[in-house]
A and B are shown apart, each in its own frame.
Chain A
């Protein structure tokens, strides 16, 4: 049972780190619905780097760099060109899905490195996720930079009038977010389940995106939600633990997706939607054109 908890926390780390990155960027008003694509790209390139070099360090470095680049690309479309952010996100997702399928294919199979070390029996990256949640909370609510970031996400023209560079801050958020989301993807492909397969992420990026929406943009709720989904997924992957021999293993594999939707429905109470509307960054997903 405790090993189930440990693997759940390892899964939670993937959700949490990616969602925290997205949260940071959404707080600055940028919506990237293509988390899945960023995670696939970073996870795949990180996997290839680690597999060919035999070093986790190289793998994670490549993943972070990839994430930063993709974040920059999404930023360029959304901030400088000002095109529809949902379309941009879709493009990032399809790009990631298409490119990694082709590029990663020759590397299909296990990573072949020693399992990533744990800390005191706990998954290292879960602890990293916790630390990141605290750091992001501190950044957003206790520093001037955080106040500026949130202002840019709420009302860029007011922020600009207060002497803040909307473009600069949004790029900063997009790149940082890209790195975190990419790290999440690499945690999946290098630590949580180090076996490459095409489209291996199974929509986890989309779940992380939903987590941000349901967290009311609060980093600690993101981590709590990630733990919940981590446990949910592990339970449904090892159904024998709870319900031996009830369904075929394929039905059990479909189950977490169905349960995820049910969770969304249960969460979407009227009370929640009111709170949601009130906390949503007002300029989320909207391009900002400076008036001349």
Chain B
């Protein structure tokens, strides 16, 4: 496409190849523009967006209370992003993180419940045995719940987007059944909340953050290596690039899709374990557990912005972990309506798609020395070719 304005010609062309800085720039621009747009919500209540954002940064990254919260939220987002990335490398969409997170959480608390953890916060239980059991149960439950969608996709070609969505809702209500109206996991004191984990069953911390944070960081490296260097990783990538070529190469579609969804579910399950059984100050299935299901969709957009790269997902997750938590904090302070972090999520997603698409186009402005043409003239495709009618 070409537009001529005065002496200048603006050319918009599709790039043949994208370089890494194009995509990085697109991601950064998407984030900046989204924050700018959401800033209008603060303007509406008479606050200065710049000030609000500086307060968000101060709260999320510099305050004693906010920073650990940011790290924990970022870990949650990062693990949810991994849960998207692994299946997406095989060309499949896992939007079932909420369901997988709930399933894993129920399993972890189920193990604790079985050992009588519901009796009291102070009950002394062998943590060195039960904590690993809870951890493994969470991973296994996430993996199994994820694998359902993958198996159905591979075996019956049932669309995985629809299935994972249905599984999310089903598990949402099952959690409600477990913690509300006399459900088995209901806490003794508060109605509609899960029981609190005894101190003896809480995951140890290092430098003030739970062990799961370090596990998540190590996983970023491990997953990168796994996808690039192992045979399974190769098969996953092959299937993702071309299912038909994969079939030719003897790669079993059902096995691959079940595997990637099991892995995705396992990673989401880890996120669930992390937030509900390892983050200080939580240690239970809270009333607003559904908010965390929704929050895991930040993982979806983190994975997309990081373009399926587990290590690149780290800084993105830290940013979103901080900004979303900080925005919630400011929402309370400014008495904004509920859901400013949801609005940011929506705007981010659409901007990310827009900018990643726009990264494919180059814009060049050229100055013409020739005769000035005052009128605006748009030319497209075919008509650029000389024709008898001109």
Contacts and interface: CB of A to CB of B under 8 A. Distances in A.
- Quick check: do A and B touch in the complex, using CB within 8 A? yes
B158 A203 contact: no
A208 B345 CA distance: 24
B152 A94 contact: no
A124 interface: no
Contact of B347 (A95, A106, A213, A292): A95
A264 B173 CA distance: 20
B177 interface: yes
A15 to B, nearest CB: 13
In this complex, the member of A73, A90, A94, A261 whose beta carbon has the largest number of chain B beta carbons within 10 angstroms is A94
B159 A210 contact: yes
Given A83-B356, A99-B346, A268 B157 contact: yes
A251 B173 contact: yes
A190 to B, nearest CB: 22
B340 A102 contact: yes
Contacts of A106: 337
A101 B41 CA distance: 14
A94 B169 contact: no
A257 B156 contact: no
B340 A264 contact: no
B166 A102 contact: no
A101 B95 contact: no
A248 B176 CA distance: 10
A250 B300 CA distance: 28
A88 interface: yes
A206 B152 contact: no
Contact of A99 (B158, B166, B347): B347
Contacts of A258: 166, 170
A98 B174 contact: no
Chain B interface size band reads: 35 or more
A149 interface: no
Interface string A12-38: 000000000000000000000100100
Q: Summarize A's interface: helix, strand, loop or mixed.
A: helix
Given A81-B360, A98-B343, A98-B349, A203 B163 contact: no
A292 B337 CA distance: 51
A87 B162 contact: no
A83 B301 CA distance: 16
A106 B336 CA distance: 10
A216 to B, nearest CB: 14
Interface string B161-204: 11101111111111011001101000000000000000000000
A117 interface: no
Contacts of A33: 161
B174 A261 contact: no
Contact of A90 (B93, B157, B181, B343): B93
Contact of A268 (B156, B349, B357, B381): B156
B57 interface: no
A202 B170 CA distance: 10
Contacts of B181: 248, 250
B353 A77 contact: yes
Interface in A86-119: 86-88, 90-92, 94-99, 101-103, 105-106
B296 to A, nearest CB: 12
Nearest to B161: A33
B145 to A, nearest CB: 12
Interface in A259-292: 260-261, 264-265, 268, 273, 276, 289-290, 292
A257 B166 CA distance: 5
29 contacts: A81-B358, A83-B356, A86-B161, A88-B353, A95-B349, A98-B343, A98-B346, A101-B343, A105-B337, A198-B339, A203-B165, A203-B166, A206-B161, A248-B177, A248-B183, A250-B181, A253-B176, A254-B169, A254-B172, A254-B173, A257-B166, A258-B170, A261-B158, A264-B158, A265-B152, A265-B158, A273-B157, A276-B157, A292-B381
